[in-house]
Copies of this chain bind each other. A is one copy, B any other.
Amino acid sequence: MLLLDGKKLADELKSEIKTEVDQLVSQGKKQPHLAAILVGTDGGSLTYVGHKVKACEQVGFKSTMLHFDSAMTEAELLQEVAKLNADPDVDGFIVQLPLPAHISADKVIMAIDPSKDVDGFHPVNVGKVTLGLPAFVSATPLGITKILERYNIETSGKHCVVVGRSNIVGRPMSILMSGQLPTGNATVTVCHSRTKNLKDITLQADIIIAALGKPEFLTGDMVREGAVVIDVGTTRVTDTTSKAGWRLKGDVKFDDVSKKASAITPVPGGVGPMTVVSLLLNTLQAAKQKL
């Protein structure tokens, strides 16, 4: 069984990005610059944005974190978005989700300049990815693609079952895996809460992407011998033995499934670290497109 080590791969990619940034800077070009807007302190948002800022430092990016009170109005947030759109020094920026309930995330995302939308959430980027055109692929799907690519997982002609149809992971993954890409060309089945006989379907899969957000949902009896399993789940479950009082659980029952899988991502240390590095990859791309 091959452990698909997202942590190690993310470190490798960061080192490659740093080399590119150093080259740009030594040529007198400006540092890539990622900005992040955070409104309020919902759940893990502060932690996530913190990881992104730290990752920027590691690769030599400039980063700006704009942290606003949760009482901020939608109009005020839209104004901040407009400022970042207009700022020539900012190559890409993100608005950390979720937003407070009184702000429409759809409206805010629509306001982001697609050429700076390094989260790949703007409909123009989603549409281009759907159409197979060059665009920013959102971070988690891009991270999974990089895992498949760097570990030379064959996808063409394979049967890939995606469990989950969220806009953030399931939907884009099903599009990318069935698209005409080096890590695509798979026959793809999209399963979700309405799917009947899920186990009959997952048992046919050469590749399973579990992205439904239910801890340890995918068990060994649902997986065919030799399947490749990508676990996108990151649910915080209470754990009194941990310092934080919780730990991350994936959607895959690892101990069980790893006995049958030919390759599998752990949680933590699988898809998670690749998500942050994908944001860096998109920001580097945005910076290079402007040069």
List residues of chain A with CB under 8 Å of any chain B CB.
Answer: 106, 122-128, 130-133, 135, 156-157, 165, 167, 171, 174-175, 178-179, 185-192, 194-196, 201
Contacts of A130 in B (CB 8 A): 123, 126-127, 130, 167, 171, 175
Determine chain A's interface SS by DSSP, over half rule: mixed
Oligomeric state, in number of copies?
2
Residues of B contacting A191 in the complex (Cβ-Cβ under 8 angstroms): 187
Q: How far is the CB of A199 from chain B (nearest CB, A)?
A: 12
Evaluate contact between A201 and B175: CB separation under 8 angstroms.
no
**A157 contacts across to B, CB distance below 8 A:** 194-196
| A170 and chain B: residue at smallest CB distance | B178
CB pair A165 B189 closer than 8 Å = no
Using Cβ atoms and an 8 Å threshold, which residues of chain B touch A175? 130, 171, 175
Residue of chain B at shortest CB distance from A198: B187
Please tell me which one of the listed residues B125, B187, B190, B201 contacts residue A127 in the complex, with CB atoms under 8 A apart.
B125
Partner of A126, one of B127, B171, B188, B190: B127
Please tell me which one of the listed residues B127, B174, B186, B192 contacts residue A123 in the complex, with CB atoms under 8 A apart.
B127
- CB nearest neighbor in B for A122: B127
Determine whether the beta carbon of A128 is less than 8 Å from that of B132. no
Q: How far is the CA of A110 from the CA of B167 in the complex (A)?
A: 23
In the assembly, what is the distance between CA of A179 and CA of B166, in Å? 10
**Contacting pair A190 B171 (CB below 8 A):** no
Of B106, B126, B201, which contacts A187 at CB under 8 A?
B201
Q: Do residues A188 and B187 form an inter-chain contact, with CB atoms below 8 A?
A: no
Chain B residues with CB under 8 Å of A195's CB are 157, 187
Chain B residues, CB < 8 A from A185: 192, 194
Q: Name the contact of A194 in the complex, choosing from B122, B128, B187, B194 (C-beta under 8 A).
A: B187
Q: How far is the CB of A91 from chain B (nearest CB, A)?
A: 21
CA distance A60 to B185 in the complex (A): 45
Task: Name the distance in Å between A89's Cβ and chain B's nearest Cβ.
Answer: 27
Query: Would you list 22 pairs from A and B whose C-beta atoms are within 8 A, ordered by A residue?
Result: A106-B133, A122-B127, A123-B124, A123-B125, A123-B133, A123-B135, A124-B124, A126-B128, A127-B128, A127-B130, A130-B175, A132-B167, A157-B194, A165-B179, A171-B175, A178-B192, A185-B192, A187-B189, A187-B201, A188-B189, A188-B190, A189-B189
